[in-house]
Structures are given as structure tokens and as C-alpha cells.
């Protein structure tokens, strides 16, 4: 999930808002647009909607974009 915040928000506040939901598994603050990438774990689409609603209600999040992973591949170390 991509999260966007107001331009004057501190990076620490970004992390706090994203980790305010227990479904957040990882938070990556990034330079540019968006402000953060958050990996969330949900059980179904309704659960995802609930998580998005809770993030938006924090007051800090001004925009979201959700990407659903259909498959994954990772190069070995």
C-alpha cells in the first residue's frame, strides 16, 4: 500500500501512523511520492477496506493507493 502525507509531516509521524494498524507487517519510508510503502496482511477484501479506513482516520494520511500481490519471486542470497 502506498501512503501519502501532508508535506510538513515528520518521517517519524509517517512510521507511527502506518504502524498504528496491527495488520502492517513492514513500513518503508521513501523519498518522493509516495511517502511510505506499507506491506499489510489481511484476510479478505473487507478486511483490507477496514485497514484503509483506519489509516485514513488517523488524520495524517491524505492519500492511499493499494496494490495487491498476485505472486512473488525472490532471488536467493
Please report, for residues 5, 29, 74, the alpha-carbon distance to residue 33 in angstroms, rounded to integers and kept in the order given. Answer: 10, 10, 25
Q: pLDDT tens digits, residue range 25-73?
A: 999 999 989 999 999 999 999 999 999 999 999 888 999 999 998 999 9
pLDDT value of residue 2:
97
Q: pLDDT tens digits, residue range 4-16?
A: 999 889 999 999 9
Residue 77, pLDDT above cutoff 80: no
Q: Which residues contact 33 (CB under 8 A, 6 or more apart)?
A: 4
pLDDT value of residue 47:
97
Q: What is the DSSP string of 10-50?
A: -HHHHHHHHTTSTTEEEEEE-SSSSSEEEEE--SSHHHHHH
Amino acid at each position: 500500500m502506498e501512503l501519502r502525507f501532508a508535506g510538513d509531516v515528520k518521517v517519524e509521524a509517517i512510521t507511527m501512523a502506518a504502524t498504528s494498524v496491527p495488520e502492517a507487517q513492514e513500513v518503508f519510508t521513501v523519498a518522493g511520492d509516495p511517502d511510505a510503502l506499507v506491506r499489510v496482511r489481511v484476510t479478505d477484501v473487507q478486511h483490507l477496506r477496514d485497514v484503509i479506513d483506519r489509516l485514513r482516520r488517523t488524520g495524517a494520511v491524505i492519500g492511499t493507493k493499494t496494490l495487491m500481490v498476485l505472486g512473488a519471486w525472490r532471488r536467493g542470497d
